[in-house]
Amino acid sequence: MKILMVLTSHDTLGDTGLKTGFWLEEFASPYYAFKDQGFDVTLASPKGGLPPLDPKSDVPDFQTPSTDRFAGDGEAQKILANTLCLASVNPGDFDAVFYPGGHGPLWDLAEDRDSISLIERFFREGKPLGLVCHAPGALRHAKNPDGFPLVKGKRVTGFSNTEEAAVELTDVVPFLLEDMLTANQGLYSKGDDWGSYVAVDKNLLTGQNPGSSEAVANEMIKLLSK
Protein backbone atom coordinates (compact mmCIF):
# COMPACT_ATOMS: atom_id res chain seq x y z
CA MET A 1 0.00 0.00 0.00
CA LYS A 2 1.16 3.51 -0.80
CA ILE A 3 0.17 6.31 1.57
CA LEU A 4 0.50 10.02 0.88
CA MET A 5 0.83 12.33 3.89
CA VAL A 6 0.19 16.02 3.21
CA LEU A 7 1.64 18.56 5.63
CA THR A 8 1.26 22.32 5.89
CA SER A 9 3.88 24.81 4.68
CA HIS A 10 2.42 27.70 6.71
CA ASP A 11 4.44 28.86 9.72
CA THR A 12 2.87 32.12 10.94
CA LEU A 13 0.16 32.19 13.61
CA GLY A 14 -1.92 35.07 12.30
CA ASP A 15 -0.72 38.46 13.50
CA THR A 16 0.56 37.19 16.85
CA GLY A 17 4.22 37.10 15.84
CA LEU A 18 4.25 33.46 16.95
CA LYS A 19 5.10 30.44 14.84
CA THR A 20 2.87 27.55 13.88
CA GLY A 21 3.02 24.62 11.46
CA PHE A 22 2.21 20.92 11.75
CA TRP A 23 1.72 19.16 15.10
CA LEU A 24 4.44 16.60 15.72
CA GLU A 25 2.28 13.91 17.33
CA GLU A 26 -0.26 14.11 14.51
CA PHE A 27 2.48 13.31 12.04
CA ALA A 28 4.58 10.82 14.01
CA SER A 29 1.87 8.46 15.28
CA PRO A 30 0.17 7.91 11.90
CA TYR A 31 3.54 7.75 10.14
CA TYR A 32 4.68 4.85 12.27
CA ALA A 33 1.25 3.21 12.23
CA PHE A 34 1.52 3.05 8.43
CA LYS A 35 5.22 2.13 8.36
CA ASP A 36 4.72 -0.70 10.86
CA GLN A 37 2.15 -2.19 8.47
CA GLY A 38 4.82 -2.24 5.77
CA PHE A 39 3.16 0.58 3.86
CA ASP A 40 5.18 2.89 1.61
CA VAL A 41 4.76 6.45 2.95
CA THR A 42 5.42 9.56 0.85
CA LEU A 43 5.35 13.09 2.30
CA ALA A 44 4.26 16.23 0.45
CA SER A 45 3.55 19.87 1.26
CA PRO A 46 2.49 22.92 -0.77
CA LYS A 47 6.04 24.34 -0.90
CA GLY A 48 7.98 21.08 -0.65
CA GLY A 49 11.09 20.66 1.45
CA LEU A 50 11.02 20.83 5.25
CA PRO A 51 7.55 21.73 6.54
CA PRO A 52 7.40 24.00 9.60
CA LEU A 53 6.93 22.29 12.95
CA ASP A 54 4.68 23.99 15.47
CA PRO A 55 7.21 24.67 18.24
CA LYS A 56 4.62 24.04 20.94
CA SER A 57 4.25 20.45 19.75
CA ASP A 58 7.93 19.82 20.46
CA VAL A 59 7.87 20.70 24.16
CA PRO A 60 8.26 17.86 26.71
CA ASP A 61 4.61 17.87 27.82
CA PHE A 62 3.43 16.82 24.35
CA GLN A 63 5.88 14.02 23.68
CA THR A 64 4.62 10.48 23.11
CA PRO A 65 6.28 7.15 22.27
CA SER A 66 5.86 8.01 18.59
CA THR A 67 7.48 11.44 18.86
CA ASP A 68 10.31 9.90 20.90
CA ARG A 69 10.76 7.31 18.18
CA PHE A 70 10.90 10.03 15.54
CA ALA A 71 13.53 11.94 17.53
CA GLY A 72 15.84 8.97 17.17
CA ASP A 73 14.94 8.10 13.58
CA GLY A 74 17.42 9.78 11.25
CA GLU A 75 15.86 8.25 8.15
CA ALA A 76 12.40 9.61 8.98
CA GLN A 77 13.88 13.04 9.74
CA LYS A 78 15.55 13.06 6.32
CA ILE A 79 12.29 12.11 4.62
CA LEU A 80 10.47 14.91 6.46
CA ALA A 81 13.12 17.42 5.42
CA ASN A 82 12.53 16.59 1.76
CA THR A 83 8.77 16.55 1.24
CA LEU A 84 7.59 16.65 -2.36
CA CYS A 85 5.96 19.76 -3.73
CA LEU A 86 2.24 18.96 -3.67
CA ALA A 87 1.72 20.22 -7.22
CA SER A 88 4.08 17.50 -8.49
CA VAL A 89 2.19 14.63 -6.88
CA ASN A 90 0.07 12.25 -8.96
CA PRO A 91 -2.87 11.16 -6.77
CA GLY A 92 -3.23 8.03 -8.87
CA ASP A 93 0.03 6.73 -7.43
CA PHE A 94 -1.45 6.35 -3.94
CA ASP A 95 -3.99 4.18 -2.14
CA ALA A 96 -4.84 6.64 0.64
CA VAL A 97 -4.02 10.12 1.91
CA PHE A 98 -3.59 11.41 5.45
CA TYR A 99 -3.46 15.05 6.60
CA PRO A 100 -1.81 15.82 9.97
CA GLY A 101 -3.05 18.94 11.71
CA GLY A 102 -1.51 21.80 13.58
CA HIS A 103 -2.92 25.27 12.98
CA GLY A 104 -0.99 25.75 9.72
CA PRO A 105 -3.53 23.98 7.46
CA LEU A 106 -6.18 26.58 8.30
CA TRP A 107 -4.17 29.12 6.31
CA ASP A 108 -2.64 27.21 3.40
CA LEU A 109 -4.21 23.78 2.82
CA ALA A 110 -7.72 25.18 3.25
CA GLU A 111 -7.12 27.37 0.19
CA ASP A 112 -4.62 25.31 -1.82
CA ARG A 113 -6.05 24.30 -5.21
CA ASP A 114 -3.78 21.27 -5.55
CA SER A 115 -4.87 20.00 -2.16
CA ILE A 116 -8.54 20.62 -2.88
CA SER A 117 -8.30 18.77 -6.18
CA LEU A 118 -6.48 15.87 -4.54
CA ILE A 119 -9.10 15.57 -1.78
CA GLU A 120 -11.95 15.63 -4.26
CA ARG A 121 -10.32 12.91 -6.36
CA PHE A 122 -9.51 10.62 -3.44
CA PHE A 123 -13.04 10.87 -2.10
CA ARG A 124 -14.60 10.38 -5.53
CA GLU A 125 -12.49 7.26 -6.13
CA GLY A 126 -13.37 5.78 -2.74
CA LYS A 127 -9.82 5.86 -1.40
CA PRO A 128 -9.39 6.41 2.36
CA LEU A 129 -9.08 10.09 3.18
CA GLY A 130 -7.96 10.86 6.73
CA LEU A 131 -7.65 14.29 8.38
CA VAL A 132 -7.03 15.05 12.04
CA CYS A 133 -7.44 18.03 14.40
CA HIS A 134 -7.13 21.23 12.28
CA ALA A 135 -6.44 19.36 9.04
CA PRO A 136 -10.17 18.96 8.27
CA GLY A 137 -9.90 22.66 7.46
CA ALA A 138 -8.53 21.41 4.12
CA LEU A 139 -12.10 20.26 3.38
CA ARG A 140 -13.38 23.86 3.44
CA HIS A 141 -13.69 24.37 -0.32
CA ALA A 142 -13.77 20.72 -1.46
CA LYS A 143 -16.87 19.83 -3.47
CA ASN A 144 -18.77 16.76 -4.49
CA PRO A 145 -19.27 16.18 -8.23
CA ASP A 146 -22.72 17.79 -7.80
CA GLY A 147 -21.09 21.02 -6.67
CA PHE A 148 -22.19 20.85 -3.05
CA PRO A 149 -19.68 20.86 -0.17
CA LEU A 150 -17.93 17.51 0.10
CA VAL A 151 -18.84 17.25 3.79
CA LYS A 152 -22.55 17.88 3.23
CA GLY A 153 -24.55 15.18 5.00
CA LYS A 154 -21.43 13.34 6.14
CA ARG A 155 -20.31 12.52 9.66
CA VAL A 156 -17.27 14.67 10.45
CA THR A 157 -15.29 15.98 13.38
CA GLY A 158 -12.32 18.24 13.98
CA PHE A 159 -10.84 20.61 16.55
CA SER A 160 -13.81 21.89 18.54
CA ASN A 161 -14.72 25.47 19.40
CA THR A 162 -14.20 24.71 23.09
CA GLU A 163 -10.72 23.34 22.41
CA GLU A 164 -9.85 26.41 20.34
CA ALA A 165 -11.05 28.61 23.18
CA ALA A 166 -8.94 26.62 25.63
CA VAL A 167 -5.76 27.40 23.65
CA GLU A 168 -6.89 31.04 23.38
CA LEU A 169 -6.78 31.22 19.59
CA THR A 170 -10.47 31.73 18.79
CA ASP A 171 -9.81 35.27 17.58
CA VAL A 172 -6.54 34.41 15.83
CA VAL A 173 -7.48 31.59 13.44
CA PRO A 174 -8.96 32.51 10.04
CA PHE A 175 -12.02 30.39 10.80
CA LEU A 176 -13.28 28.02 13.48
CA LEU A 177 -13.22 24.45 12.25
CA GLU A 178 -16.38 23.33 14.01
CA ASP A 179 -18.30 26.32 12.61
CA MET A 180 -16.99 25.76 9.09
CA LEU A 181 -17.89 22.07 8.99
CA THR A 182 -21.37 22.87 10.32
CA ALA A 183 -21.86 25.73 7.84
CA ASN A 184 -20.92 23.34 5.02
CA GLN A 185 -23.72 21.08 6.23
CA GLY A 186 -21.45 18.42 7.66
CA LEU A 187 -22.88 16.30 10.46
CA TYR A 188 -20.37 17.55 13.03
CA SER A 189 -19.97 15.68 16.29
CA LYS A 190 -17.34 15.66 19.00
CA GLY A 191 -16.23 13.85 22.10
CA ASP A 192 -14.68 15.21 25.28
CA ASP A 193 -12.08 17.92 24.84
CA TRP A 194 -8.63 16.39 24.24
CA GLY A 195 -9.97 12.83 24.21
CA SER A 196 -9.69 10.53 21.21
CA TYR A 197 -12.70 10.87 18.92
CA VAL A 198 -13.08 9.74 15.31
CA ALA A 199 -15.90 10.20 12.82
CA VAL A 200 -16.10 7.77 9.89
CA ASP A 201 -18.33 8.21 6.86
CA LYS A 202 -17.45 5.67 4.18
CA ASN A 203 -13.92 6.58 3.07
CA LEU A 204 -13.85 9.96 4.89
CA LEU A 205 -12.21 9.71 8.31
CA THR A 206 -11.71 12.67 10.61
CA GLY A 207 -10.22 13.00 14.10
CA GLN A 208 -11.02 15.69 16.65
CA ASN A 209 -7.63 16.52 18.14
CA PRO A 210 -4.01 15.34 18.55
CA GLY A 211 -5.13 12.44 20.72
CA SER A 212 -7.18 11.12 17.78
CA SER A 213 -4.36 10.89 15.23
CA GLU A 214 -3.38 7.26 15.74
CA ALA A 215 -7.02 6.19 15.89
CA VAL A 216 -7.70 7.77 12.49
CA ALA A 217 -4.66 6.03 11.02
CA ASN A 218 -5.82 2.70 12.44
CA GLU A 219 -9.29 3.15 10.94
CA MET A 220 -7.65 3.85 7.58
CA ILE A 221 -5.57 0.69 7.92
CA LYS A 222 -8.77 -1.29 8.54
CA LEU A 223 -10.29 0.07 5.34
CA LEU A 224 -7.16 -0.68 3.36
CA SER A 225 -7.10 -4.24 4.71
CA LYS A 226 -10.57 -5.07 3.39
- CA nearest 60: which of 71, 76, 51, 73? 71
pLDDT, one tens digit per residue, over 122-151 is 999 999 999 999 999 999 999 999 999 999
Per-residue model confidence (pLDDT) at position 203 = 97
The domain over range 2-225 is classified in CATH as 3.40.50.880: yes
198 to 94, 121, 172: CA distances (angstroms) = 23, 22, 26
pLDDT tens-place string over residues 66-82? 999 999 999 999 999 99
User: So where are the chain's domains?
Assistant: 2-225
Say what the pLDDT of residue 7 is: 98
Parallel, antiparallel or unpaired: strands 198-201 and 204-207 = antiparallel
* pLDDT-based confidence at residue 113 (cuts at 50, 70, 90): very high
pLDDT score, position 109:
98
Rounded to an integer, what distance in angstroms lies between the CA atom of residue 215 and that of residue 107?
25
Average pLDDT over the chain reads 97
Q: Is the pLDDT of residue 226 over 90?
A: no
Burial tier of 50 (Cβ tally within 10 Å: 0-12, 13-18, 19+)? middle
Q: Is the pLDDT of residue 101 over 90?
A: yes
pLDDT tens string 20-32: 999 999 999 999 9
pLDDT the model gives residue 128 = 98
Per-residue model confidence (pLDDT) at position 123 = 96
- The confidence score (pLDDT) of residue 219 equals 98
pLDDT in tens, 155-180: 999 999 999 999 999 999 999 999 99
d(Cα 151, Cα 37) in Å, to the nearest integer?
29
pLDDT over 90, % of the chain:
100
Which of 98, 92, 1 has its CA nearest to residue 44? Answer: 98
